[in-house]
Amino acid sequence: MFTINFDNLPWLAYIGQIVDILLVTYVVYKLIMIIRGTRAVQLVKGIAAIFIIWIISNFLGLSTLEFITRQTATFGLLAIIIIFQPELRRGLEQLGRSRLFTSRSAPKNDSMQDTINALVKASNYMGKRRIGALVSIERDTGLNDYAESGIPMQAVVTSELLINIFIPNTPLHDGAVVLKNDRILAAGCYLPLSEDSSISKELGTRHRAALGVSEVTDCITLIISEETGAISISKRGALYRNLTEEQLRELLEQNLLKTTATSESRWQWGGKKDG
């Protein structure tokens, strides 16, 4: 039988090195995209500073400083895992949401458009009457953990039902509503509060909860302020405030409908962005 001796083909080694470089470049790029806009950016700057100090101290023969930086790098890994657990969790969740692991089909645009229409109509009604509301809309990351903390509903999304849930002094008005496609999974749910110290002090519990769940999932969360009636949206740890009806509809359609035109660059509005 005729066989090929690959040991005599050095070009395979060059191809392997090129593939290796491309894979490492891609991984570094994805890591940068994950930590962009998070506290982890400051972490990277700190690690770079320690690395530079270690090189300089090693070059100049500063043994004490070199020992301190080496020990800091050794024990700092455990501290990084503990302090930046939310960022690490979000990175792993984004890896799990990649096309390689995702097999769920997207909801039909017709039913999702009906959901968007109901959200916009309910938001306008509650905003004008200063009825506080908090609605999280599931995307790729499941929200079942948060839905289980509330009252199960499994109801079709309608503006009338959403308004009735958040009417003051009713049993479910204080919690969050969790949506999946065109269904209300549960109401009166508890969402994790953001611990970001840079959040404006004028924002209340609803806004902090919306930011908190957006930091650990890819959901879109709608907030209506009980004090001002202002409509806001949280996504990926950022808060877009004082949205008009047109801005709210555009944002929901860009992020919930299955289209090829969706682009982060179109998130340019007059609303204030925090986070």
- Predicted confidence (pLDDT) at residue 234 exceeds the cutoff of 70: yes
Bigger pLDDT: 39 vs 207: 207
Does 123 fall in a domain?
Answer: yes
Pick the last residue of a domain from 33, 65, 83.
Answer: 83
Position 91 scores a pLDDT of: 63
Does 98 fall in a domain?
Answer: no
**Nearest C-alpha neighbor of 129 from the set 203, 221, 224:** 224
Q: With pLDDT > 70 as the criterion, what percentage of the chain qualifies?
A: 75
Position 49 scores a pLDDT of: 83
Bigger pLDDT: 168 vs 93: 168
Same domain, 249 and 126: yes
pTM assigned to the model: 0.62
Round to the nearest angstrom and report the end-to-end CA distance of the chain: 66
Same domain, 231 and 132: yes
Domain count, the chain: 2
Same domain, 166 and 56: no
The answer to whether the CB of 248 falls within 8 A of the CB of 123 is yes
Greatest mean pLDDT among 11-15, 94-98, 173-177, 219-223 lies in 219-223
Report phi then psi at 158, rounded to 5.
Answer: -135, 155
Same domain, 174 and 269: yes
Same domain, 249 and 137: yes
Under the banding of pLDDT at 50, 70 and 90, the label for residue 261 is very low
Same domain, 119 and 71: no
CATH number for the domain including 206?
A: 3.40.1700.10
Position 195 scores a pLDDT of: 79
Position 275 scores a pLDDT of: 39
Tens digits of residue pLDDT in 69-120: 877 777 777 776 776 666 666 666 656 655 544 444 445 667 889 999 999 9
> What rounded mean pLDDT belongs to the chain?
79
Same domain, 41 and 115: no
Same domain, 151 and 246: yes
Domain span at residue 129 reads 109-274
Under the banding of pLDDT at 50, 70 and 90, the label for residue 20 is confident
Tens digits of residue pLDDT in 190-200: 998 887 777 87
Position 41 scores a pLDDT of: 66
Same domain, 153 and 243: yes
Does 65 fall in a domain?
Answer: yes
Does 136 fall in a domain?
Answer: yes
Same domain, 240 and 176: yes
Does 205 fall in a domain?
Answer: yes
